[in-house]
Structure 1
Amino acid sequence: MSFLSFLLGEKKKTASVAKERLQIILAHERNGRSASSDYLPQLQRELVAVISKYVSIKPEDIKVNLERTDNLEVLDIKIELPDAAR
């Protein structure tokens, strides 16, 4: 890290920002502050907004699901991309 970038700061990439947001949401959920999965629709909307910057998709192309069994939580995100984007 150069001294100049330390002073001015570095612009984070969209993927790393999205990853950090997911980590915060999961940490929040694990701490028991939110007993329900009310954040999932908002997470889905944010994913659509971010991915739409690069590929034309519809909200129904992204499925977000949280499954809980005993002490295990699985966040399942399925994104269907159009053929032209593959």
Structure 2
Amino acid sequence: MSLLEFFRPQKKTSASLAKERLQIIVAERRSADDPAPSYLPQLKEDILKVIGKYVDVEPSMVDLSFEQKDDDISVLELNVKLPDEDK
């Protein structure tokens, strides 16, 4: 790391920001005993914003589900129905 990088850090990309948020959510979920995740609506909204930069999608086209399979296994499933290209 050079001295200039220390005083002028690079702007985070949307992918790295989304990765950090997901890591925080997963860590929070592991520490909480609440079976119903309260963060899913906000996570879905964030994912819609990121996908919306590249493809026009509606909220009904994104399905986000969370399943607790065991004490140490959780599954976050994301299904996105992409629109057909106009020909």
TM over 0.5: yes
Match of 1:56 in 2: 56
> What displacement does 1:57 show?
0.7
CA distance in 2, matches of 1:20, 1:80: 25
Percent of aligned pairs sharing the same letter: 43
The TM-score, its normalising length taken from structure 1, stands at: 0.84
| Structure 2: runs of 5 or more not aligned | none
What SS class does the counterpart of residue 57 from structure 2 fall into? coil
Q: 1:82 to 1:2 in 2, by over 3 A?
A: farther
1:2-53 superposed Cα distances (whole Å, 9 cap, x missing partner): 3222211111110110011011011001101x61211111111111112112
What SS class does the counterpart of residue 83 from structure 1 fall into? coil
Q: CA RMSD in A?
A: 1.5
Q: Does 1:31 align with 2:22?
A: no
Match of 2:81 in 1: 80
Stretches (4+) displaced over 3 A: none
Aligned length: 83
The TM-score, its normalising length taken from structure 2, stands at: 0.84
Match of 1:40 in 2: 40
